[in-house]
Amino acid sequence: MKWMRSLGSVLLMGVASLSLSGCLKTVLLNGQIKSTREGSSAVNTLHDYEIARSVAFAGIAQIEGMHQLGPNNTDALFMLTRSWGGIAFGFIEDDYERAVEAGDEVMIAYHQQRLRSAFERAKFYGNELLGHTAEGFKEATKNTETLKAWLKENFTEPEQAEDLLWAGFAWVGFVNSSKEDPAAVAQLYIGVALVERSVELDETAVYATGHTILGAYHARTAGAELEESKQHFDKALAINGGGYLSTRLNLARLYCVKSDKANWEKTLREVLAAGDPLPQARLQNVIAMRRAQRYLGNKIWQEDCGFSG
């Protein structure tokens, strides 16, 4: 009996050791993921587009691995949502636009699919992220009213604004890259509602990107919503001081094209002449300048906007 009690103690110690080892691994992993999120903003200060592109594609693989090891870690889900959306807009869409300029139909279709897939992956992780705050997201998307009610009930803190912003950005990006799919287009209201709630909680999040997205949304037609579009763009510029150049770029691409070519050119040239107004968002500004140069330098984009000559 004494021997069995001793054996029992050893076995219990072994089980405790295994449990402690598992907990320790989880603690270390969570710490690593948290540190990665906190340090990820350093990439935004890069000035070299090609280096940033390499870093982004390498980094997403690392974050995917972290998520595999810690599937319930919300920091990893946040980074995956933001990173896949950022890669889609910043790099894959650039590949798509270059294919358009080259007139290469095969590569246009290829990059279009890549773009849609990246936004779809961002959307998937964004949904997972929101699910860690509240259950019932899928049921809430029955219509605009049920979704807004769910968001208002479950997302009440300013700290939640960025989660909603990137999840909404993913949804909007997915729809924009799936315009040939009526079922996808019909879900645009989901992304818009997420961004609207983000703006309600903290309109300054990510340099007022929520207002920029809503400005673009309300400029999608030449109808009565143009005034609302301009209000959102003006609000974004007032908050970020014009230093976050993506706001001006989208103002030109989506609002100014509804007015006149001179205003479109003027706004794009303001992007190119901005210098380095926001070092902590240097990469995003480099991307905006790259796009502005492209749109001004090739008539295909002027024709796409409805301008001739």
In whole numbers, what is the pLDDT of the chain averaged over residues? 91
Confidence of residue 29 (pLDDT cuts 50, 70, 90): confident
Query: What tokens appear for 255 in the block?
Result: 């609002």
Task: Give the per-residue pLDDT at 130.
Answer: 98
Give the residue with greater pLDDT, 2 vs 298. Answer: 298
- Does residue 98 carry a pLDDT above 50? yes
- Please tell me the distance from the alpha carbon of residue 276 to that of residue 244, in angstroms, as a whole number: 10
Give the residue with greater pLDDT, 20 vs 94. Answer: 94
The string of DSSP letters for 206-242 reads HHHHHHHHHHHHHTSSSSTTHHHHHHHHHHHHHHHTT
Confidence of residue 306 (pLDDT cuts 50, 70, 90): confident
Q: What is the rounded average pLDDT of the residues 252-273?
A: 88
Task: Give the per-residue pLDDT at 254.
Answer: 86
Over residues 3-16, the pLDDT tens digits come to 334 434 443 444 44
**pTM listed for this prediction:** 0.90
Confidence of residue 18 (pLDDT cuts 50, 70, 90): very low
- Please tell me the distance from the alpha carbon of residue 151 to that of residue 169, in angstroms, as a whole number: 16
Q: What is the rounded average pLDDT of the residues 44-58?
A: 96
Task: Give the per-residue pLDDT at 90.
Answer: 97
Task: Give the per-residue pLDDT at 216.
Answer: 94
- Does residue 258 carry a pLDDT above 70? no
The string of DSSP letters for 165-186 reads HHHHHHHHHHHHTTTT-HHHHT
CATH architecture of 43-202: Alpha Horseshoe (1.25)
- Does residue 2 carry a pLDDT above 60? no
CB 66 within 8 A of CB 76: yes
Task: Give the per-residue pLDDT at 221.
Answer: 74
Task: Give the per-residue pLDDT at 189.
Answer: 97
Confidence of residue 274 (pLDDT cuts 50, 70, 90): very high
Exposure string over 234-261, b if 16+ CB within 10 A, otherwise e:
ebbbebbebbbbbbbbbbbbbbbbbeee
Confidence of residue 278 (pLDDT cuts 50, 70, 90): very high
Domain segments of the chain: what residues? 43-202, 203-309
- Please tell me the distance from the alpha carbon of residue 237 to that of residue 244, in angstroms, as a whole number: 8
Q: What's the number of CA atoms in the CB half-sphere (13 Å) around residue 274?
A: 31
Task: Give the per-residue pLDDT at 255.
Answer: 84
Lowest mean pLDDT among 27-36, 130-139, 198-207: 27-36
Query: What tokens appear for 253 in the block?
Result: 């691409």
% of the chain with per-residue pLDDT over 90: 80
Q: Kindly list the distances between the CA atom of residue 106 and the CA atoms of 12, 32, 93, 112, 232, in Å, as whole numbers in the listed order.
A: 63, 41, 15, 10, 37
Which of 173, 56, 178, 57 shows the shortest CA–CA distance to 113?
Answer: 178
Q: Kindly list the distances between the CA atom of residue 276 and the CA atoms of 11, 105, 204, 245, 265, in Å, as whole numbers in the listed order.
A: 63, 36, 20, 10, 20
Task: Give the per-residue pLDDT at 260.
Answer: 80
Diameter over CA atoms, the chain: 97
Query: What tokens appear for 78 in the block?
Result: 């946040």
Over residues 199-209, the pLDDT tens digits come to 999 999 999 99
- List phi, psi (to 5°) of 220: -70, -20
